[in-house]
């Protein structure tokens, strides 16, 4: 479970915020407090901002997160354990000027504390991606990792145990080679007979191969059900994608090799989890 204790959170809070946190935990507040979060709206962006949203849920009774309709299922799964987080569903981005000049003042008038970042702020500037989003929220950058949490699924645990028992002694390697606008054939440089290669989008083996059945277990599954699989891998090779954004925050201490291919503005080096992969 997320660590929502005063000991965990207090290094980020001033005295007023500490009281707000304690009031929420003890359900002693008389007036409901509300936060409205409008970050960038890609699914990967939602993973980058998971820590911020969970942090804000410690301070506010209700946190409303703007989410595109096409990502609603994944977003609700991401926060299914915290009932104080809900969603404002839209079909597509609201134009930045409309949000800043029109919607934001209306929300503030309605009692919301509005948090926005990147192009949805007055200065519309991004630097040191994705860390500048936390600067825009006015919260500590370490909150991104310290408060990141997605509840693992039972389905994912059961699948991981099956894969672990069916893997060769040298373990398995996970690949994510397809993003919205880019596809790379990263797995082609690996020996498919020597290692169990698991691509999250497709089975890399023919049906008559001994690894076909186990490799099929991971194809096109929900992202939150991959947590145990990713944390138990021998190696992870990924193009920059929403899966990569999620994986960056996991406990990868047992993964020997972690490589990101075509990272955006070298964000992988900035965060220090994935090396840059070359083909």
pLDDT digits (tens, 9 = 90+) for 216-272: 999 999 999 999 999 999 999 999 999 999 999 999 999 999 999 999 888 999 999
- CA 189 – CA 174 distance, rounded (Å): 13
Which has the higher per-residue pLDDT, 182 or 184?
Answer: 184
Residue located via tokens 């099956």: 162
The burial class, CB within 10 Å (0-12 / 13-18 / 19+), for 224 is middle
- CA 250 – CA 230 distance, rounded (Å): 8
- CA 279 – CA 61 distance, rounded (Å): 48
Per-residue pLDDT tens for 34-79? Answer: 999 999 999 999 999 999 999 999 889 899 999 999 999 999 999 9
Confidence of residue 12 (pLDDT cuts 50, 70, 90): confident
* Averaged pLDDT of the chain: 91
- CA 111 – CA 34 distance, rounded (Å): 7
Residue located via tokens 């309709």: 69
- Choice among 92-101, 105-114, 270-279 with the minimum mean pLDDT: 92-101
Residue 156: is its pLDDT beyond 70?
Answer: yes
Confidence of residue 180 (pLDDT cuts 50, 70, 90): confident
CATH class of 6-146: alpha beta
Domain ranges of the chain: 6-146, 154-276
What is the per-residue pLDDT for 1? 46
What are the DSSP calls for 134-156, one per residue?
A: HHHHTS-TTHHHHT---PPPHHH
What are the DSSP calls for 47-101, one per residue?
A: HHTHHHHHHHHHH-SEEEEEEEGGGHHHHHHHTTT-TTEEEEEESSPPPHHHIII
- What is the SS3 assignment for 21? helix
Exposure letters 50-64 (e unless 16+ CB within 10 A, then b): bbbbbbbbbbbbbbb
What is the per-residue pLDDT for 3? 57
């Amino acid at each position: 479970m997320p660590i929502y204790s005063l000991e965990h959170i207090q290094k980020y809070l001033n005295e007023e915020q500490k009281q707000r946190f304690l009031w929420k935990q003890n359900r002693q507040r008389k007036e409901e407090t509300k936060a409205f979060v409008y970050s960038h709206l890609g699914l990967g962006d939602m993973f980058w901002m998971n820590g911020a949203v969970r942090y804000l849920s410690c301070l506010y009774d209700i946190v409303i997160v703007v989410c595109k309709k096409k990502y609603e299922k994944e977003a609700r799964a991401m926060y299914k354990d915290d009932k104080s987080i809900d969603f404002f569903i839209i079909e597509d981005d609201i134009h930045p000027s409309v949000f800043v000049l029109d919607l934001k003042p209306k929300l503030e008038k309605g009692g919301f504390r509005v948090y926005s970042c990147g192009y949805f702020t007055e200065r519309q500037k991004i630097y040191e991606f994705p860390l500048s989003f936390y600067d825009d929220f006015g919260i500590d950058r370490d909150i991104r990792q310290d408060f990141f949490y997605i509840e693992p699924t039972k389905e994912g645990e059961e699948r991981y145990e099956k894969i672990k028992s069916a893997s060769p002694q040298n373990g398995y390697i996970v690949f994510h080679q397809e993003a919205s606008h880019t596809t790379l054939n990263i797995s082609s440089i690996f020996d498919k007979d020597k290692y169990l290669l698991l691509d999250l989008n497709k089975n890399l083996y023919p049906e008559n191969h001994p690894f076909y059945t186990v490799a099929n277990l991971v194809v096109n599954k929900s992202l939150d059900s991959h947590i145990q699989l990713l944390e138990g891998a021998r190696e992870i090779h990924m193009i920059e994608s929403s899966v990569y954004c999620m994986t960056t925050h996991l406990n990868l201490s047992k993964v020997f090799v972690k490589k990101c291919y075509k990272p955006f503005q070298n964000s992988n080096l900035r965060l220090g989890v994935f090396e840059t992969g070359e083909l």
